[in-house]
Amino acid sequence: MEGRCSTPELLPHTCAYYTPPLVSVKRLAMNARMPLWSPLKVEYALRRLMCEPAIPRVEGACMTNKPRAPHTTYLGIVVFVGGLVSLGIELAASRLLAPFFGTSQLVWMNLIGLILLYLSAGYWLGGRWADRSPHLTTLLLILVAAGVSVALVPVLATPLLHNVQTWLVNYESAWLIGSFLGVLLLFALPMTLLGCVSPFAVRLATADVRESGRVAGRLFALSTIGSFLGTFLPVLLLIPLMGTRATFFTFSASLFAVTLPGFWLVRRRLLIAVPLAGMVLVGWLWWTVQASPIKPHANLLYETESAYQYIRVLEDADGMRYLELNEGVGTHSIYHPERLFTQRLWDYFVALPAFAAQPKPLDEPRSWGIIGLAGGTAARLITATYGPDPITGVELDPKVVDVARTYFAMNMPNLDVVVLDGRAWLAQTPNTYDLLIVDAYRQPYIPFELTTVEFFQAARRHLTPDGVIAVNVAHGEDERLVDALAATMQTVFPTVYRMPVPHTYNTFLIGTVRPTTPEQVSANSAMFAPLLPAHLVQWVQQARLAPHTNAQVLTDDHAPVEYLVDWLIVREGVRLNR
């Protein structure tokens, strides 16, 4: 007679229990009078889905000529979900850290390094755990514990990361130390538990050592396919549509959900209440946490998340609004409804026409291109100063454009907004411009592709014969990045000016298509004096050329922008902490 093992967590050759044959279960399950939700019909469906093997009944043991582990299909589903959640959490974790510590390579270094360490610990622990307790119930309880720990991550993240950031506020290297502590405290438990899943599943699925390689290869392939899906799912779907915290809750719920059929299969049906309670907990936490701000601030006016970054708008008591991205170290735009010039760095973009070899008359329109439009502060100042000059503003993040239109009055009719990467825009636009501004940042870096010889060659092709390009470079006391960018621009433009912005750690590097001199630029300032505030006229009159140095010329093949900025952060941190 054909039989079935009723205790699948025991290997087939040690099972001494017997359940009715599948054909008998099928005959009863197909009874038309029996409701669809009856336990017998559910059992039949699950046993068919999980391909429960036929094992002949032998007194005291269940033996086959070729042993097969129970529920191999179900174990494949488990490792698939485990792989998906593991990599999905790694990508979503960067979004939890971004509002507090940014997304620099130093932050990614901590995130990837520590998560790999946790997974390694999980692989080791899971293998030992499986040998000591080779039961499917144990694996299911590990998944439940992982689901709980994942659900707690977004709940604990804001207070924990806020306290770490406050503690490190006076440290220049806060990004490095804070992100390390954040990953250490938030993700050690969930990632270690998820690391236990694959080796545990391999142990349960291996009934014959002669097929252990095939079993391990199959399960690890399924886990990797899950990780492949986990790479795209949070980035393209979950985070843009629901946000980072909801993404974590979704992953937690999926871990609870995958255990439900498992508890049914091992006939621990009372334990089904555990993942069900976990899913109720997830729903309650989701509802509770979503009502609280991502990053609390006394002056918070608005915040949101996009596919690229965390975005928030602050408004002070004076009515000035500030656009901040990710950790908020730098302000990307400002706006006041009754004030234009503020003696901040955006004022100085308005003075760029004075650097042209032959500036156009004041009543003649100039064409402007802005890479890194953000909240449109520069575009608004240009329009207010020169009238409806045609401006093309390039911004990568469409949500930043929406925020700018809503909170920063970026509604000038002469502004044409292009949502695209700056380098890609240069490659496809047929237009030429009198003035080109590069003010793009992925904090704390200028995107390296906007700093190279090839980029500036492309930019020059899109400038008019009297065209001017200006690059805003943020730096500390270490100005090696400024030196490298100046040396790079000097290979493309005959004249490059190095113009520090007063009262900031910003320097404008200004290149001209035709050769000019500081004296010529200073003389041009008189032409623009009727339009420009006094501090801008004075700044133009102090024009100075960038000195020629032995600094590295940046190319698409070798542009260590991140390296220079990372060392600047570390060196500043060491200097200030002495």
Tell me which amino acid residue 266 is: V
> Does domain 75-290 sit in CATH 1.10.3470?
no
- Phi, psi of 301, rounded to the nearest 5 degrees: -105, -40
How high does pLDDT run on average in the chain? 85
Which of these is catalytic: 439, 466, 483, 566?
A: 439
The C-alpha angle 373, 525, 387, rounded to 5 degrees, equals 45
H-helix or E-strand spanning residue 48: helix 39-49
Pairing of strands 415-419, 433-438: unpaired
> How far apart, in whole angstroms, are the C-alpha atoms of residue 341 and residue 373?
18
Q: Which two tokens stand for residue 119?
A: 């997974």
What letter represents residue 371's amino acid? I
Spatial separation of the C-alpha atoms in residues 259 and 254, rounded to whole Å: 9
Q: Is it the case that residue 36 has pLDDT exceeding 60?
A: no
Sheet (strand 55-58) strand order: 2-3, 55-58, 61-62
> How far from 274 is each of 7, 72, 269, 282, CA to CA, in Å?
20, 23, 10, 12
Angstrom distance (rounded) from CA 246 to CA 479: 41
Give the SS3 label for residue 201: helix
Residue 19 to residue 40: CA distance in whole angstroms = 13
Consult the annotation and say whether 422 binds a ligand: yes
Residue 430 burial class via C-beta count within 10 angstroms: exposed 0-12, middle 13-18, buried 19 and up: exposed
The boundaries of every CATH 1.20.1250 domain in the chain are 75-290
And the tokens for 301?
């006016």
pLDDT at position 292 is 78
| Distance, first Cα to last Cα, the chain | 81
Q: In this predicted structure, which of 20-24, 58-62, 408-412, 453-457 has the lowest mean pLDDT? A: 58-62
**CATH topology for the 343-576 domain:** Rossmann fold (3.40.50)
- Name the pLDDT band for 105 (thresholds 50, 70, 90): confident
CA distance 293 to 312: 10
Q: Do residues 86 and 150 lie in contact, with contact meaning Cβ atoms separated by under 8 Å?
A: no
362, 354 Cβ separation under 8 angstroms: no
Q: Crossing angle for the helix pair 72-101 and 197-205, nearest 10 degrees?
A: 180
CA nearest neighbour of 82 among 189, 206, 224? 224
Average pLDDT of span 74-80: 95
Based on the residue annotation, tell me whether 389 is a catalytic residue of this protein.
Answer: no
CA distance 392 to 378: 12
Structure-token pair, residue 179: 């992100």
Considering the chain, tell me which residue range(s) the CATH 3.40.50.150 domain(s) occupy.
343-576
The phi, psi pair for 188, rounded to 5°, reads -60, -50
HSE on the CB side for 449, CA within 13 Å?
Answer: 9
Residue 447 labelled as part of a binding site: yes
Contact assessment for residue 267 and residue 15, using Cβ atoms and an 8 Å cutoff: no
As a dihedral over the C-alpha atoms of residue 522, residue 524, residue 527, residue 529, rounded to 10 degrees, the angle is: -30
Structure confidence by residue, pLDDT tens digits, 417-471: 999 999 999 999 999 999 999 999 876 678 889 999 999 999 999 999 999 999 9
| Distance set, CA 562 to CA 75, 445, 558, 576 (Å) | 43, 6, 11, 21
Nearest to 527, CA basis, from 402, 360, 383: 360
pLDDT at res. 44: 56
Q: For 296-355, how does the pLDDT look when each residue is reduced to its tens digit (9 = 90+)?
A: 888 999 999 888 888 999 999 999 999 999 877 778 999 999 888 888 899 999 999 999
Cα within 13 Å of Cα(399), Cβ side: 17
Q: Tens of pLDDT along 217-268?
A: 999 999 999 999 999 999 889 988 888 999 999 999 999 999 999 888 887 7
Q: Is the pLDDT at 282 greater than 80, yes or no?
A: yes
Pairing of strands 506-512, 495-500: antiparallel
What are the structure tokens assigned to 374, written together? 């953000």
Known binder of ligand: residue 395? yes
Taking only the tens place, the pLDDT of each residue in 153-196 is 999 998 888 888 777 766 656 667 877 888 889 999 999 999 99
